[in-house]
Amino acid sequence: MTLEVPETLEEALAAIQALQKKAETAESERAKLKATNQGLLKDLKKKKTIDSFLKVAGIELTDDLDEEKIAERIAGLRKKEEAQTENEQIEEQQTSKQQTPSDAMTEAMKAQFASLRKELTDLRKTNEQLESERNQEREKRRESKLERFVTDELSKAECRRPSHLYKLMKENFRLLDDESTVVFGSEDDPVSLRDAVTKLRDDEEFAVYFAGSGATGSGMTTTRAAATTYSNNPFNKDTVNATKAAELLQKDPDKAKRLMNEARLAGKLDPVLGRAVQSM
């Protein structure tokens, strides 16, 4: 039988305690054997079948073999059998001790691994949530900067309702990665913020948002004296264009109505087109 050398101090102490216990057990067994020897001596004196008993036990009687020696040999046989049984028990106990820590360690490692895996999962979820929150905060900050830059530039251009115009054209403005530059238009052909505001101010569709356009609307107070005309207004009698006016009335009646109002406020509405529209 090969015994494994203990790997740790705890295992060594456990092995020493086991050996001490075995020694105590052996001492107790020796005392029992001694008492048994004495009993055998008494029994051998009383039994007449000693010869057959000894033959069965494999003890050959000789002239120098007295009762005490016979008893010792019988006790020796018994001790040998008990020692063999004890060794088998010791081997079983050692095997059990070797297996039990291993099984316990395996279960402990499994539990620790499960705990670490849960902590890792929780940490990953926390990181994802924090990253999402950071991205949301970053987008809010960028949107706030974009709106501030655009509305400031619109205000410099005397836009009456910069926030309203920004919301209408928000999708066309972009804040670059440096978070200080705003461009307008497609990625292939963008223009600067200042150029974009200039174009919006000069565009007849958005001119009503700027001072001097002569347009009226919610939050806009305009007088006839403040009204201005535009060179491309087809309803203006100075630049009348019946073909374009008819096209606007068909495709974009709201824009046509606005341009008519602008021309009327400026006192420049073409009378022929005015009567034609009223009769429609």
Residue 193 predicted with pLDDT over 50: yes
Flag whether 149 is in a domain: no
Flag whether 279 is in a domain: yes
Flag whether 132 is in a domain: no
Flag whether 176 is in a domain: no
Flag whether 224 is in a domain: yes
Domain C-terminal end among 73, 105, 137: 105
What confidence tier does 220 reach under pLDDT thresholds 50, 70, 90?
very low
Total domains in the fold of the chain = 2
pLDDT for the residue 218: 40
Flag whether 124 is in a domain: no
Amino acid at 69: K
Domain C-terminal end among 105, 120, 153: 105
Query: Which of 273, 241, 251 lies closest to 260 in space, CA to CA?
Result: 273
Flag whether 245 is in a domain: yes
pTM given for the model: 0.38
Domain C-terminal end among 105, 127, 142: 105
Distance between CA atoms of residues 42 and 223, nearest Å: 144
Flag whether 128 is in a domain: no
List pLDDT tens digits, range 124-137. Answer: 888 898 889 989 99
Report the mean per-residue pLDDT for the chain: 77
Give the up-direction half-sphere exposure of residue 243: CA atoms within 13 A in the CB hemisphere. 0
Ranges 35-44, 174-183, 196-205, 227-236: which has the least confidence: 227-236
Residue 183 has φ and ψ, to the nearest 5°, of -125, 165
Number of Cβ within 10 Å of residue 195's Cβ equals: 13
Ranges 143-147, 186-190, 236-240: which has the least confidence: 186-190
Tokens of 116: 């670490």
In which domain, by residue range, is 50 found?
9-105
∠ CA 263-264-269, rounded to 5°: 65
